A and B are shown apart, each in its own frame.
Chain A
Amino acid sequence: MIEARFQLDWPGFSLDVDERLPSQGVTALFGHSGSGKTTLLRCIAGLEHAARGALTFDGEVWQDAGTWLPTHRRPLGYVFQEASLFPHLSVLGNLRYGQRRSRAAAGNGFSLEHAIELLGIGHLLGRRPAALSGGERQRVGIARALAVNPRLLLMDEPLAALDLARKQEILPYLERLHDELAIPVLYVSHAPDEVARLADHLVVMDGGRVLASGPLGETLSRLDLPIRLGEDAGVVLDGHVAERDERWHLLRVQCCGAGLWVRDSGAPIGHAARVRILARDVSIAHAPSHDTSIQNTLPARVESLGDDAHPALALVRLRVGSSAVLARVTRRSADRLGLKPDLDVWIQIKAVALL
Chain B
Amino acid sequence: MLSSTDLEALALTLRLAAVTTLILFAVGTPIAWWLARTRSRWKGPVGAVVALPLVLPPSVLGFYLLATMGPNGPVGQLTQALGIGLLPFTFWGLVVGSVLYSLPFMVQPVQNAFEAIGERPLEAAATLRASPLDRFFTVALPLALPGFVTAGILSFAHTVGEFGVVLMIGGNIPGVTRVASVQIYDYVEALEYGDAHRLAAVLLVFSFVVLLALYSWRPDRRKV
Contacts and interface: CB of A to CB of B under 8 A. Distances in A.
Interface stretch (B101-109, B122-130, B150-158): B122-130
B126 A88 contact: no
A144 interface: yes
Contact of B224 (A45, A47, A87, A144): A87
Given A47-B123, A80-B120, A80-B124, A85 B224 contact: yes
Contact of A87 (B123, B125, B128, B143): B143
A128 B222 CA distance: 9
- Most chain A beta-carbon contacts within 10 A, residue among B124, B127, B143: B127
For the side of the interface on B, what is the size category? Answer: 20 to 34
Interface string A153-172: 01000000000000000000
A71 B124 CA distance: 10
A145 B223 contact: no
Contact of A47 (B126, B128, B143, B145): B126
Interface in A179-237: none
B121 interface: yes
A110 interface: no
A70 B126 contact: yes
Contact of A86 (B124, B127, B129): B124
A53 interface: no
A73 B131 CA distance: 8
A84 B143 CA distance: 13
- Most chain A beta-carbon contacts within 10 A, residue among B120, B124, B125, B128: B128
Nearest to B222: A87
B127 A45 contact: yes
B14 interface: no
A98 B123 CA distance: 12
B127 A76 contact: yes
Contact of B129 (A82, A85, A130, A148): A148
B142 interface: yes
Interface residues of A, number: 29
A87 B116 CA distance: 13
A72 B143 contact: no
A77 B127 contact: yes
Given A83-B224, A129-B222, A88 B127 contact: no
Interface string A60-77: 000000000011110011
A88 B224 contact: no
Nearest to A145: B127
A101 B128 contact: yes
A72 B222 contact: no
Interface in B107-145: 120-121, 123-132, 134, 138-139, 142-143, 145
A173 interface: no
- Most chain B beta-carbon contacts within 10 A, residue among A72, A102, A148, A154: A72
Nearest to A144: B128
Contacts of B138: 97
Contact of A84 (B132, B134, B224): B224
A30 interface: no
Interface string B73-114: 000000000000000000000000000000000000000000
Nearest to A97: B128
A100 B38 CA distance: 30
B220 to A, nearest CB: 9
Given A72-B134, A84-B124, A97-B130, 9 more contacts: A72-B129, A80-B124, A82-B120, A84-B121, A85-B224, A98-B129, A130-B223, A144-B128, A148-B128
23 contacts: A70-B131, A72-B126, A72-B132, A78-B124, A78-B127, A80-B120, A82-B120, A84-B121, A86-B124, A86-B125, A86-B224, A87-B222, A87-B223, A87-B224, A88-B145, A97-B130, A97-B138, A101-B128, A128-B222, A129-B223, A129-B224, A130-B222, A144-B128
Sorted nearest first, the 7 A-B pairs with minimum C-beta distance are: A98-B128, A78-B127, A101-B129, A71-B126, A87-B222, A84-B124, A88-B142
Interface of A: 45-47, 70-73, 76-78, 80, 82-88, 97-98, 101-102, 128-130, 144-145, 148, 154
